[in-house]
Amino acid sequence: MVKPRNPPRQQRSRETYERVLDVAAVAFEELGYAGTTTNKVAEAAGISIGTLYHYFPDKDALLYSLAERHLAGARESMMAVFAGLREQQPGLEESLRAGIEMNVRLHVNEPQLHRLLYDRAPRSEALHKRLQAVNAAIGREVAWHFKRLGVAHRHRALMANMVVAGIESQVHSGLIDARKPVDPELLIEMLTQLWLRALEGS
């Protein structure tokens, strides 16, 4: 995957950059990887192909930037949930439900683009490392809450990382990979009860 050029700093250029990404997200969502072209994105964004290439050398660079933005947004959303949990100090079930609900919400938004970013698009080593860093940060926060809640006494960090990976995989399977996606509210309830039982005896 070709890495895009550095994002512009001037406000007008930054607005154009973000508009192109917004348009590209819709294009990938509706047309998939094969059907999306830089010409279509440029036309929909109301800019010349030369202007688009100034920011993004090809459509893989567009996809790379979308993946970066998606990961940054996901991290910010999850950390906001954890900050709320630190402030409110709810019990285990409510804490689990809050994290799982946010994970589900992130998958429900733009499912085709989510599938493309994680399953079908070319992936660079840099992007893979960024994904690992986001998961590690979430895992550390989960471990902190496990300590707060008095669960996972042994191998707490390992258990936290397994919970993060497990929930991500289960939500992805239920909402993205399934031929008929599971009702999000049902999935939240099922996963909350599943992990609640697993952690109560840990």
**Tens-digit pLDDT string for the chain (202 aa):** 455 656 666 777 788 999 999 999 899 888 888 899 999 999 999 999 999 999 999 988 898 888 888 888 999 999 999 999 999 999 999 999 999 999 999 988 777 777 777 765 556 777 788 889 999 999 999 999 999 999 999 899 999 999 999 999 999 889 888 788 889 999 999 999 999 999 997 7
**Superfamily of chain region 66-200:** Tetracycline Repressor, domain 2 (1.10.357.10)
Domain ranges of the chain: 66-200
3-state helix, strand, coil split of the chain in percent (to 5) is 80, 0, 20
DSSP 4: P
Within 8 A by CB and 6+ apart from 186, the residues are none
Map tokens 């919970």 to a residue. 163
Residue pair 99/142 in contact by the 8 Å Cβ criterion: yes
Report how many helices (DSSP H) and strands (DSSP E) the chain contains, helices first.
Answer: 9, 0
Instruction: Count CB neighbours of 92 within 10 A.
Output: 18
Map tokens 């733009």 to a residue. 110
